[in-house]
Structure 1
């Protein structure tokens, strides 16, 4: 039964994207070839990177015990957990879609929701290499202010989301 429902879900997603592609081709015929080319490049990139991510995730699943994640990123990790999540999010330089399996694994290993949201938010917007390039092009003052305001926003959003979702049973789609 599970396999059939997963297959149905995948089929619905494929049909949805085919309808979107058809509509895009119908209403924007001059832009469709470019969109198709960009989409195929993106899919190729994902197919090249994603298997390596899955291997790393498998190794992390075996090598990083749940107790370690729970201790440093769990509900009782407090401010240290938030700082550690923030730090973890600043390090990687890969695309955002790599962060989602990592976030799912962290949740599965009992990391707190707010710490996972911090990790994802920082990964998306506050990476160290990105900051260096930003300073070079936009300037130090703007970059520092954006870093501060984005950090505050991520912390507020993570706390708010955890309060809203707390009490609900958060199940991961495996």
Structure 2
């Protein structure tokens, strides 16, 4: 019971704050609960398909294949695949993190996973098309051309700044080893 409370302490505190807000400022409390409910429904619409695709990725793609195409020695091919996967993705950014976890579990290079997350957040094709229609093709093209090296530079700097122990911890978390120990 103590572990459950520890794991969900943030959620419980927010729930208590929302309930207090509902009692003290009913209009604001109702609005907070409406927003929370809308966000919950949105997540319930996105998360199940993402987990089905993750299960398929986990079963269909062998670890050796992932290491060959996105692992430490993948070079430009790994970077290109990470950019393409991130850019072709659909859905909100929070859906990228379970996918990143599976990529790490399968042996992808850490910087390639960071590139994947960066591409998901900034270079998704539907977002680029919307941006081109709203802001113009020139703006979209310049931003896109700035984002590509920016994502790669941030990913490589982040990988170099992390110690081997930090990266090992992240890979263990992705593999679920940390949870097995606790």
- TM-score w.r.t. the length of structure 2 is 0.82
1:17 maps onto 2:14 in alignment = yes
1:94 maps onto 2:91 in alignment = yes
The equivalent of 1:51 in structure 2 is 48
2:63 to 60, 63, 66: 66
Worse-superposed segment, 46-55 or 142-151: 46-55
1:40-88 deviation line (CA, Å, top 9, x unaligned)? 1111121233122222212211111111111111111112111110111
Offset of residue 135 of structure 1? 0.8
CA contact (8 A) 2:19 2:29 kept: no
1:123 maps onto 2:120 in alignment = yes
1:77-108 deviation line (CA, Å, top 9, x unaligned)? 11211111011111012111211111000001
RMSD: 2.4
- TM-score w.r.t. the length of structure 1 is 0.86
Question: Alpha carbons of 1:4 and 1:145: their partners in 2 closer, same or farther (altered >3 Å)?
Answer: same
Question: Alpha carbons of 1:142 and 1:68: their partners in 2 closer, same or farther (altered >3 Å)?
Answer: same
CA distance in 2, matches of 1:158, 1:89: 14
- Aligned residues between the structures: 171
